[in-house]
Amino acid sequence: MNLLQNKKIAIIGGGPGGLTLARLLQLKGATVNVYERDLNRAVRVQGTRLDLHAESGLKALEYARLTDAFKKNYIPDNDRTRVVDEHTKVFFDQHNGETAGDFGDEWFRPEIARGSLRTILLDSLQPNTVVWNSHIVSLEPIDNMFQLLFQNGNTVSADIVIGADGANSKIRQFVTPIRPFYSGVTILQGGIDKPETNAQKIHDFFKEGKIMALGDSKTITVVSDKVNGNLEFGLSWKADANWVADSGIDFNNGKQVAKWFKKEFANWDSIWHELVEAENTLFIPRPQYCMPLDQYWKAKPNITLLGDAAHWMPPFAGEGVNMAMLDALELSESLTNEKFTDLTSAVAHYEKQMFARFAHIGKLTLHNTEWMHSPEGLKKMLGRFRHDAN
């Protein structure tokens, strides 16, 4: 029994999870469109890197028949990490070692630029699958379907709606009233263009790959983007939930950010000042929230969620994109599994797996969030790396 026959599927959000789902469903003959708020595929520079895991992200790409495309576009050895303290003393360094694994190895974590992954997925879809400039405003149930209204005035109808629209999902409210809670940690993200001139000391110290600095119950992570030559970084520390508003900082004003940083990170070496002193840096504060680990809702036959829309959590386990892509795989398998006689059963099967996985990985993520921002952060991080190396 083909549960998707003559069904129009609307995926809201064109991130890795939504695009992976679209590809997998099209391979199975489903009629699907992705509605993405970006004006077109080139409107945003897709920065930062993603590391994909064998049991989730890479598995989804294998089912999507995109492993070869990924291998042509990933960044070899860009997962090498250097662990330092706040004074830049090196405690662990993978830069001088041999290549850390290969495809097929359980712990291999190949990295790819987010934009490159997006291109692979977009190019795999049928023409006109993605409907750009589609910022959803409202969703209205009509009989057994949904009518979707977008900011540009367009309306479409769909038999099945899948919210893949991230942490601030507009679709989630139609599935569950459950809200996230604040994790206690805030991240300030930034990027430096031409770091060889705008942040020369960090650039020289960097050696590509990734730097993880832990000290004083805070962290700084710096990664290189070989695609556009930028350095992307994140500062994280414990803060009140309303810190962004209460701080009084204009995050478009680099001098204000630098003044705050030199006070908040006063015990850190002055080399880190380059992160906040480079001109034209875009700073984005991100308070870190998490959905309740025991969240549950009763399955509906025509609407569900995946990725951050379903299980938003902090990034301190590196599982976000991988969980979204595995969600896409498991949802596509459930919706097309002939053992299910109705859509409610198929969706319930998917959501049961998703709830259980999030309960486990969310617990691990919150545990990491706590110890990484504790006085023991560096010691515990080194223990993790040395354990993995053995």
Q: Could you tell me which residues are annotated as the binding site?
A: 44, 51, 114, 308
Distances (CA, A) of 162 to 139, 147, 302: 12, 13, 8
Cβ atoms 70, 112 nearer than 8 A: yes
Binding site for FAD, residues?
Answer: 51, 114, 308
Residues near 263 by beta carbon (within 8 Å), at least 6 away in sequence: none
- CA 148 to CA 375: how far, in whole Å? 49
Cβ–Cβ < 8 Å for 344, 78:
no
In the 8-state DSSP scheme, what is residue 282? P
Q: Is 196 helix (H, G, I), strand (E, B) or coil?
A: helix
Q: How far is it, in rounded angstroms, from Cα 88 to Cα 213?
A: 7
Residue 204, token pair as written in the block: 């020289």
- Cα atoms in the 13 Å half-sphere on the side-chain side of 213: 24
Question: Which residues are annotated as part of the binding site for NADPH?
Answer: 44
Give how far Cα 288 sits from Cα of 88, 301, 344, 365, Å: 26, 31, 32, 11
* Alpha carbon distance 74, 52 (integer Å): 10
At 249 the three-state DSSP class reads coil
- In DSSP notation, 31-70 reads EEEEE-SSSSTTSS---SEEE--TTTHHHHHHHTT-HHHH
**Which residue's entry shows tokens 């002939």?**
338
Under 8 Å CB-to-CB from 278, ≥6 apart: which residues?
192, 193, 195, 198, 199, 254
C-alpha of 196 from chain center = 27
